[in-house]
Amino acid sequence: MLRSSGVTHSSEDRYAHKYIIAFTVTMAAMLELIDTSIVNVAIPHMMGNLGATLDEIAWVSTAYIIANVIVIPMSGWLSAYFGRKRYFTGSILLFTVASFFCGSSHSLFALIFWRVIQGIGGGALLSTAQATLYESFPPEEAGTGMAIFGVGVMVGPTLGPTLGGWITDNYSWPWIFYINVPLGIIAAILTVTYVNDAAHQERADKIDYLGIIFLTLCVGSLQWMLERGERYDWWDSRFVTLLGVTALVSGIALIWRELTVDEPVINFRILKSRQLSAGVSLGLLLGFALYGSVFILPVFLQQLLQMTAWQTGKIILPGAIASAVTMAVVGRNAMRLDARYTVVAGAFLFFWSMLKMSHLTAASGQQDLFWPLILRGVGLGLIFVPLTNATMADLKVKDLAQGTGMFNLMRQLGGSLGIAVMATLLARFMASEKAFLLTEHVGASDPETLSRLSLLTRGLISRGMNPLVAQQQALAILDKQVTVQSSMLAFSRIYLYSGLVLIFALPLLLLFRTGRARGSMGPVH
């Protein structure tokens, strides 16, 4: 049986501190998102300090993300069960305490354990933040709240590697976790002071333990498979295959369980809303394109263009600012905009950006990346706020937490899928392009290749190198040049495919009953 919390607030009281609440929940969500990627640049330092192999240290990222995605779809139920203020505050404190112990860990096991705890705390911060914002702003200003939140969601994944690189270079890796402590304490204090429980909160009397078990098996196995599949060569590995089968079987069991129990931990019944189903599907593909392109860009800049993490951050920053400005403008005009048009415009701008980036070369510099990244930022800004608002347009207030949980879960899983697919395709494209170049253009009997090799060898000999060593070095230089060229061709294809993903997703907009924001057509009770 579901019981109402009985919490009521006058409209004036409920909206009195809307901007403080928006700042609070966005800061908490950014902490969660930044910590998804901030550790990546510190991995070499952690390996040396903790005496771990690359395969072992990868669990520092994997454990956090798995714990995170398990909690995200449960956050609506947990928020109702414990009360939004108590649950959100507790999650921030759990995240903060775990961050401190992550930084003070002296063994790999301890670090992985506290990353799991940190992921459990962080799982609440995205979905609960969105549901809180929808009730903290008047319906006609919901777009403004989502714009503030959207800036954090878009900037967080971009800022993580850059901030992590700067902190690691100037201090030491534990500080990538310690930096969360003061910010987490501030967010917790502001939450206790200003955030209220949901106005239409319903609390379950029973805990759906079986549903929680199926959810953990399904999402945990799926995320684990996506995180480690490339390393184990996907379906050639029995372990990866087992993870896939486990995710499939437990996923079917989860859906059956949640549709037949009276008090489900995930309310799949709200997917009867065609609007929500289409929006969640678009969110999956948005996550695929966004996180996939976010993943490959730093790799491209740092491995091929030989840039540092800090230089990479400075190149990415203008695009993030463009996204923030676009979201602010779109958010202010949310009631007048139709997502079916803004999402199309944003998708084509994103595609245009990826098309321009597919023409980059090894000689490209910061100026060549400026406008493509500005276009990407504007495109994503046109998509995120209208899509989120339109997806939730038909939901009752009491279902918002469940709806935002599903939307964030699918975007997160889409991101994990995007990273896994992009990493796999990148490796395979690089191998195939290199094989093609070696077969067609750099053969042992090719006159241009022989001339180039001879020129390199003579140049090295003229610098005093032994002729035999010079010939070996010339071959190594030529091989490196072929590798760089094949890598450039592989990245070009990846950028193009990233842009096409959103274009192919656009027909889902035809399923939308309306593209208008929640509240633009009157209140939804």
**pLDDT tens for each residue of 287-326:** 888 877 777 777 777 777 777 767 777 787 788 888 888 8
Residues 184 and 278 in one domain: no
Residues 195 and 312 in one domain: no
Q: Of the given ranges (54-63, 91-100, 166-175), which has the lowest mean pLDDT? A: 54-63
Residues 194 and 300 in one domain: no
Containing H/E element for 203? strand 202-204
Higher confidence at residue 113 or residue 83?
Answer: 113
Buried b (16+ CB within 10 A) or exposed e, 342-365: bbbebbbbbbbbbbbbbebeeebe
**Are the C-beta atoms of 382 and 342 separated by less than 8 Å?**
yes
Domain boundary among 176, 205, 234: 205
Q: Give me the count of residues in the chain.
A: 525
pLDDT tens for 106-131 read 888 999 999 999 999 988 887 788 77
Residues 184 and 321 in one domain: no
CATH number for the domain harbouring residue 37: 1.20.1250.20
pLDDT tens for 492-522 read 888 898 899 999 999 999 988 877 765 554 4
Residue 345 has pLDDT above 90, yes or no: yes
Residues 275 and 194 in one domain: no
Residues 387 and 274 in one domain: yes
Residues spanned by the domain of 161: 1-205
**Structural tokens at position 514:** 């309306």
Q: Which of 402, 401, 324, 410 is nearest to 135 (CA)?
A: 401
What contacts 103, CB < 8 A, 6 or more positions away? 174, 175, 176, 177, 178
241 part of a folded domain: no
9 part of a folded domain: yes
| pLDDT attached to residue 214 | 92
Distance separating alpha carbons of residues 296 and 65, to the nearest angstrom = 19
262 part of a folded domain: no
215 part of a folded domain: no
426 part of a folded domain: yes
The residue-averaged pLDDT of 465-492 equals: 74
Q: How confident is the model at residue 346 (pLDDT cuts 50, 70, 90)?
A: very high
The proportion of the chain whose per-residue pLDDT surpasses 70, expressed as a percent, equals: 86
Residues 143 and 271 in one domain: no
Residue 269 has pLDDT above 80, yes or no: yes
Q: How confident is the model at residue 6 (pLDDT cuts 50, 70, 90)?
A: very low
Residue 466 has pLDDT above 80, yes or no: no
**Structural tokens at position 401:** 């937490």
67 part of a folded domain: yes
99 part of a folded domain: yes
Q: How confident is the model at residue 436 (pLDDT cuts 50, 70, 90)?
A: low
**Amino acid making up residue 473:** Q
Residues 170 and 277 in one domain: no
**Count of domains for the chain:** 2
Domain boundary among 173, 205, 237: 205
Q: How confident is the model at residue 203 (pLDDT cuts 50, 70, 90)?
A: low
The proportion of the chain whose per-residue pLDDT surpasses 90, expressed as a percent, equals: 19
pTM: 0.80
Q: Of the given ranges (161-165, 387-391, 403-407), which has the lowest mean pLDDT? A: 161-165
Residues 162 and 274 in one domain: no
Q: Is 518 helix (H, G, I), strand (E, B) or coil?
A: coil
Residues 279 and 195 in one domain: no
448 part of a folded domain: yes
How does the average pLDDT of the chain come out, rounded?
81
**Are the C-beta atoms of 381 and 509 separated by less than 8 Å?**
no
Domain boundary among 179, 205, 231: 205
Residues 180 and 271 in one domain: no
| pLDDT attached to residue 329 | 86
